[in-house]
Chain A
Amino acid sequence: MAIFGRILGLFRRSRLDREIDAELREHMQMCIDDNVANGMSRREAERAARLQFGSPTVARERVHAEDAALGLDSVLRDVRYAVRGLKNSPGFAIVAILTLALGIGANTAIFQLLDAVQLRSLPIQKPDELSELRIAGGSGGFGTIDSAYSYFTVPMWQEVRRHHDPFTGVFAWRENGMLLGEPSESRRIDGLEVSGEFFNVLGIAPWQGRLIEPQDESSCELSKVVASYGFWKSQMSGIPITSGTTLVVEGITVQVLGVTPPSFFGMVVGDHFDLAYPTCTPPHPRREAFVFSVMGRLKPGWSQARASAYLAALSPGLFENTAPTDYSSNEIKRYKSFRLEATAAGSGVSYLRKEYDSSLRLLLAISGLVLLIACANLANLMLARASVRQREIAIRMALGASRGRLLRQMFIESGLLALLGAALGMALAQPLSRLLVASLGTSHDTVHLDISTDWRVLLFAACVAVVTCVVFGTLPALRSAGADPMTSMKSGERGTTGGRERFSVQRMMVVVQIAVSMVLLVGALLFVRSYRNLVTLDPGMRESGISYGFFGFSSMNIKPENDAVFKDRLVEEVRSVPGVQNAAATTNIPLGGSTWSHMVRTSAGEGSSRFSYVSSTYFATMGIPLLTGRNFTNHDTNDSALVVIVNESFLKRYLGSAQTSGKAIGQMVRVMPEPGYPERVYQIVGTMPDTKYNDLRLEAEPQAFVPIEQLPVTAQGAGMGIMVASGDSAATMDAIRRTMQAKYPQMIVQLFDFEQGIHDGLVRERMLAMLSGIFGVLAAVLVVVGLYGVLSYLLAQRRNEIGIRIALGARRVQVVRLVLRDSMGMLLVGVVLGTGLALAAGRGAGALLFGLKAWDPVTLGYAAVLLAVVALLASWIPAHRAANLDPVDALRTE
């Protein structure tokens, strides 16, 4: 109980102080009284009492130390003392706090991003009950796949909807682009197709109106939508939802049922949706089209593993019932062997995870290393500061301050710095991570991430601050508290006898800094060079001046028999737009994200190959030369012999014996059947060099090109892609858009710049190169500061020695050499150490590099040279100053 009184008494601190003083004073008085009673004179009595009592200050300090509440109070006093100390040297305080804020801010920003992408749960009810149903191991490219999350065809979904014992409810969803507004002025928005159970199972309550319910699935005609909060606010100006609220979507007037809450962004972390609309069950769903992601909420008592076991048992029947036809028997056997499993989906799904996980972790490591260098710098600063304050500390120790007390005081000072740095860093982290998110986006694809500070981020920042504080505070504290007061007092503030040991600690820290920044510089150079390799990579076809477009004409109701003619005319019309050099139709845009493959069989082998159906102008438009054989002509149609042009990889893989491309002409390629594409045999009429297909980073794949006129009639669709070559792609795209709008107001035209699109595919590399570059430069700057500081300090300590050397006849050059030898020694050890570390660390980064190895000797050499330049730069001024030392001056101050 007494302790509570004491803590309350904290605010009456002076009273408590007085009480202790009074108690001790009375003690002394009684002692004096007794001495006088024993016959001493007053003065003698006082002297004897004081001798017996010892130092009253020490006694009071010791009583204080026993008092828990007063201990707390003295911590406050230490804090005030530390604040005063920092105020007295604002330069040091500002540098220290800013360094820490930058370091902690950068770390927190990257962690925040990692948290948002990787760790955070969806804003739904009981997210840990949510489970995603998947084909174990994936579908291996079977059928057509809508997106990275599409594990279900419509028939599969219907089966699971009927059998979902482990789940209280299941739902299906997919992302699907939509067009908002009248056709002539429509623009793309992000749609979310959901089954009727979606919002109910997730437990999302409407913000306005109502959300989609099972009965909304009844019609396949789009008639009802639900708006996201963001869309409702920005596009519908937040008007109250009534039964008369409508929008024009895909050319149809639809009713807006309600609005979802602000926190709900859909199921994909990094994406968002504008409108959600109900799915429907078409009468004859395609059995090979994987479109949906299916999720469910586990019943109480069911684990993911138990649900997986249930699904595995369900799978044979499910895949038997839903198997598509029109495939080879092997393919159908493969389909029937698929097994479903349940995986935790409480944090949603995200393409960002696979794409960015390792790079974000790597960046976190890099920024951690930068923080480490910053800490080493701070530790050196604190050491220098501590040696200046040696006299003060010695006096306090002589006056009876305990080592523990001094240690605590030093830690409070560094803790205060870390705390201020962390607070500022947290403030910095927010805009920094927004910047990061923005840098992940591309010209027409932004990343939507909710960057907020949750408990994980706070915990992370706190841990970083504590670790920082310990790292940069411990050594200086131990050192100054461990000093012997006698020597310190005698040698004064210059600490000439400070001993070699302290200097070697500072040297060691510079060496560590150099080593760590070597690692960072190597990393930065590797990523920058890897990015450059990708940007300058020749994909085997023309990039500049190329644009591509998607033309959609489903609403124009072209009759199937006129389809080919219409497409042909469209290409010709695009070609005749002023400024267009050439244009070609294609079913697949290279490096555009989508892929198309068929299984093929030749005399020498079988496997899969990429297929594109293109018009005869394709190779000329894309600047791809034919190696042998002939190009397509207008006579290659579905009524004539089927022909194909293949690339070198195709030849190597499937026509091994006919290596020389000349011999390949005339060989037959059998394409295996699948829905819409009957089994066919094509004759090779030409060969072409390898070009990149969908990913710059991948090796060339077997590719085959077929005349677009020979696309099976069953595979025709009311849309096509067109590649356009011109001198100025921006102006040309404008011209094409205008021409098409005037001629076909019903047609949907979307045009993109090809080169821009390719660069957009390199966002990850761009981000890595940019950030590691920034961190590398930061590390180098910190090394300059650190090295400069330590050299200046060491030289100040050796002022007398150098003065004597100069007085005895040492030439300036010799003095400069003395200093440079010192820093070059540190550099050498640091670089050797750093090379070892970089090699060890490089193994983790190998997968993120393109066109060079992690142990690239040129890069290591560059980094070493760069550091040498940096070290020379940092030593130049101190060396120069030492060489110009006036010996008389230096010796006089002795």
Chain B
Amino acid sequence: MAKNDLQGALDLLILKTLSQLGSMHGYGIVVHIRSVSEELLVVEDGSLYPALHRMEQNGWVRASWAVTEYSRKAKFYALTAAGKRQLADREKNWQDVAKGVEAILRFA
């Protein structure tokens, strides 16, 4: 049984985005998720930052202030080694959940 519930999805999305982009600020993460998912997934801005700060507390991401390509100062987040392990775990979990849900839906 997959331990992860659907709520963990936000963490997974953020971790995956950071692993794909390397280092990114909050707004960039929102935009990336929206565009890659073709507007199917919209991360609420209000939920993003509590999640990012929690991950920072857990040591999954580290943050540093830098300047964006549009020369705005922003806090950039990047995965740590622990974050990468976490991502691998969660990806595996997510696939289990998806498989499980799929099986339920196909049952007739």
Residues on A close to B: CB < 8 A?
1-3, 6, 19-20, 22-24, 26-27, 29-31, 33-34, 52-55, 58-59, 62-63, 65-68
Bound-state Cα–Cα, A54 to B27, Å: 14
Evaluate whether A23 and B74 lie within 8 angstroms (CB atoms) in the complex, with A31-B27, A67-B57, A68-B57 already known.
Answer: yes
Q: Among the listed B46, B56, B62, B75, which residue makes an inter-chain contact with A62, where contact means beta carbons less than 8 Å apart?
A: B46
Shortest Cβ distance from residue B46 to the other chain A in the assembled complex, whole angstroms: 4
Supply 4 further A-B pairs (C-beta < 8 A) apart from A33-B72, A59-B46, A63-B49. A23-B26, A26-B74, A59-B49, A62-B47
Q: Among the listed B47, B49, B72, which residue makes an inter-chain contact with A30, where contact means beta carbons less than 8 Å apart?
A: B72
Is the pair A27, B50 in contact by a Cβ cutoff of 8 Å? no
Query: What residue in chain B is nearest A37 (Cβ atoms)?
Result: B70
The interface on chain B, measured as residues whose beta carbon lies within 8 A of the other chain's beta carbons, has a size of: 23
* Interface positions of B from 35 to 72, Cβ below 8 Å from A: 44-47, 49-51, 53-54, 56-57, 59, 62, 68, 70, 72
In the assembled complex, which residues on chain B have CB atoms less than 8 Å from the CB atom of A68? 57
Is the pair B50, A24 in contact by a Cβ cutoff of 8 Å? no
Q: Among the listed B44, B49, B54, which residue makes an inter-chain contact with A24, where contact means beta carbons less than 8 Å apart?
A: B49
Is the pair B56, A65 in contact by a Cβ cutoff of 8 Å? no
Evaluate whether A30 and B68 lie within 8 angstroms (CB atoms) in the complex, with A23-B74, A53-B45 already known.
Answer: yes
Contact sample, A vs B, 18 pairs, CB 8 Å cutoff: A3-B57, A6-B57, A20-B49, A23-B49, A24-B49, A26-B73, A27-B26, A27-B45, A30-B27, A30-B72, A30-B74, A33-B72, A52-B45, A53-B46, A55-B46, A62-B46, A63-B50, A67-B53
Query: What residue in chain B is nearest A54 (Cβ atoms)?
Result: B46
Bound-state Cα–Cα, A30 to B31, Å: 10
Bound-state Cα–Cα, A65 to B57, Å: 12
Bound-state Cα–Cα, A263 to B85, Å: 62
Most buried by B among A1, A30, A54, A65: A30
Is the pair B56, A2 in contact by a Cβ cutoff of 8 Å? yes
Most buried by A among B31, B45, B68, B73: B45
Is the pair B50, A66 in contact by a Cβ cutoff of 8 Å? yes
Bound-state Cα–Cα, A22 to B72, Å: 11
Query: What residue in chain A is nearest B47 (Cβ atoms)?
Result: A62
Is the pair A1, B59 in contact by a Cβ cutoff of 8 Å? yes
* Interface positions of B from 69 to 88, Cβ below 8 Å from A: 70, 72-75
Evaluate whether A26 and B72 lie within 8 angstroms (CB atoms) in the complex, with A2-B56, A65-B50, A67-B53 already known.
Answer: yes
In the assembled complex, which residues on chain B have CB atoms less than 8 Å from the CB atom of A20? 49
In the assembled complex, which residues on chain A have CB atoms less than 8 Å from the CB atom of B70? 30, 33
Shortest Cβ distance from residue B106 to the other chain A in the assembled complex, whole angstroms: 36
Is the pair A54, B50 in contact by a Cβ cutoff of 8 Å? no
Bound-state Cα–Cα, A29 to B25, Å: 13
Residues on B close to A: CB < 8 A?
25-27, 31, 44-47, 49-51, 53-54, 56-57, 59, 62, 68, 70, 72-75
Query: What residue in chain B is nearest A56 (Cβ atoms)?
Result: B46
Evaluate whether A63 and B53 lie within 8 angstroms (CB atoms) in the complex, with A53-B46, A54-B45, A54-B46 already known.
Answer: yes
Query: What residue in chain B is nearest A19 (Cβ atoms)?
Result: B75
Q: Among the listed A29, A59, A63, which residue makes an inter-chain contact with B72, where contact means beta carbons less than 8 Å apart?
A: A29
Bound-state Cα–Cα, A2 to B61, Å: 10
Query: What residue in chain A is nearest B54 (Cβ atoms)?
Result: A66
Is the pair A66, B53 in contact by a Cβ cutoff of 8 Å? yes
The 6 A-B pairs with the shortest beta carbon distances in the complex, nearest first, are A30-B27, A66-B53, A62-B50, A66-B54, A54-B46, A53-B45
Query: What residue in chain A is nearest B51 (Cβ atoms)?
Result: A66
Is the pair A2, B59 in contact by a Cβ cutoff of 8 Å? yes
Shortest Cβ distance from residue B27 to the other chain A in the assembled complex, whole angstroms: 4
In the assembled complex, which residues on chain B have CB atoms less than 8 Å from the CB atom of A66? 50-51, 53-54, 57
In the assembled complex, which residues on chain A have CB atoms less than 8 Å from the CB atom of B31? 34
Bound-state Cα–Cα, A2 to B72, Å: 25
Bound-state Cα–Cα, A525 to B53, Å: 64
Shortest Cβ distance from residue A579 to the other chain B in the assembled complex, whole angstroms: 90
Is the pair B49, A62 in contact by a Cβ cutoff of 8 Å? yes
Shortest Cβ distance from residue A131 to the other chain B in the assembled complex, whole angstroms: 56
Shortest Cβ distance from residue B31 to the other chain A in the assembled complex, whole angstroms: 8
In the assembled complex, which residues on chain A have CB atoms less than 8 Å from the CB atom of B25? 26-27, 30
Bound-state Cα–Cα, A257 to B58, Å: 69
In the assembled complex, which residues on chain A have CB atoms less than 8 Å from the CB atom of B59? 1-2
Bound-state Cα–Cα, A55 to B47, Å: 12
Evaluate whether A2 and B49 lie within 8 angstroms (CB atoms) in the complex, with A23-B75, A27-B26, A30-B27 already known.
Answer: no
Is the pair B46, A27 in contact by a Cβ cutoff of 8 Å? no
Bound-state Cα–Cα, A29 to B71, Å: 12
Bound-state Cα–Cα, A67 to B58, Å: 10
In the assembled complex, which residues on chain A have CB atoms less than 8 Å from the CB atom of B50? 59, 62-63, 65-66
Query: What residue in chain B is nearest A70 (Cβ atoms)?
Result: B53
Bound-state Cα–Cα, A218 to B53, Å: 82
Shortest Cβ distance from residue B55 to the other chain A in the assembled complex, whole angstroms: 9
In the assembled complex, which residues on chain B have CB atoms less than 8 Å from the CB atom of A6? 57
Shortest Cβ distance from residue B60 to the other chain A in the assembled complex, whole angstroms: 10
Query: What residue in chain A is nearest B73 (Cβ atoms)?
Result: A26
Shortest Cβ distance from residue A15 to the other chain B in the assembled complex, whole angstroms: 12
Bound-state Cα–Cα, A66 to B56, Å: 10
Is the pair B45, A2 in contact by a Cβ cutoff of 8 Å? no
Query: What residue in chain B is nearest A34 (Cβ atoms)?
Result: B31
Evaluate whether A58 and B46 lie within 8 angstroms (CB atoms) in the complex, with A66-B53, A68-B57 already known.
Answer: yes
In the assembled complex, which residues on chain A have CB atoms less than 8 Å from the CB atom of B75? 19, 23, 26
In the assembled complex, which residues on chain A have CB atoms less than 8 Å from the CB atom of B73? 22, 26
In the assembled complex, which residues on chain B have CB atoms less than 8 Å from the CB atom of A3? 57
In the assembled complex, which residues on chain A have CB atoms less than 8 Å from the CB atom of B53? 63, 66-67
In the assembled complex, which residues on chain B have CB atoms less than 8 Å from the CB atom of A24? 49
In the assembled complex, which residues on chain B have CB atoms less than 8 Å from the CB atom of A63? 49-50, 53
Bound-state Cα–Cα, A65 to B54, Å: 9
In the assembled complex, which residues on chain B have CB atoms less than 8 Å from the CB atom of A59? 45-46, 49-50
Shortest Cβ distance from residue A34 to the other chain B in the assembled complex, whole angstroms: 8
In the assembled complex, which residues on chain B have CB atoms less than 8 Å from the CB atom of A23? 26, 49, 74-75
Shortest Cβ distance from residue B1 to the other chain A in the assembled complex, whole angstroms: 28
Bound-state Cα–Cα, A613 to B51, Å: 94
In the assembled complex, which residues on chain B have CB atoms less than 8 Å from the CB atom of A55? 46
Shortest Cβ distance from residue B57 to the other chain A in the assembled complex, whole angstroms: 6
Bound-state Cα–Cα, A3 to B45, Å: 25
Bound-state Cα–Cα, A694 to B57, Å: 75
In the assembled complex, which residues on chain A have CB atoms less than 8 Å from the CB atom of B72? 26, 29-30, 33
In the assembled complex, which residues on chain B have CB atoms less than 8 Å from the CB atom of A53? 45-46
Shortest Cβ distance from residue A785 to the other chain B in the assembled complex, whole angstroms: 46
Shortest Cβ distance from residue B73 to the other chain A in the assembled complex, whole angstroms: 7
Bound-state Cα–Cα, A662 to B68, Å: 122
Query: What residue in chain A is nearest B58 (Cβ atoms)?
Result: A2
Bound-state Cα–Cα, A30 to B51, Å: 19
Most buried by A among B44, B57, B62: B57
Bound-state Cα–Cα, A34 to B59, Å: 31
In the assembled complex, which residues on chain B have CB atoms less than 8 Å from the CB atom of A22? 73
Shortest Cβ distance from residue A221 to the other chain B in the assembled complex, whole angstroms: 81
Query: What residue in chain A is nearest B53 (Cβ atoms)?
Result: A66
Bound-state Cα–Cα, A606 to B27, Å: 104
Bound-state Cα–Cα, A3 to B59, Å: 9
Bound-state Cα–Cα, A364 to B31, Å: 67
Shortest Cβ distance from residue B33 to the other chain A in the assembled complex, whole angstroms: 14
Bound-state Cα–Cα, A70 to B48, Å: 18
In the assembled complex, which residues on chain A have CB atoms less than 8 Å from the CB atom of B45? 27, 31, 52-54, 59
Bound-state Cα–Cα, A52 to B44, Å: 8
Bound-state Cα–Cα, A6 to B63, Å: 13
Query: What residue in chain B is nearest A59 (Cβ atoms)?
Result: B46
Bound-state Cα–Cα, A517 to B83, Å: 61
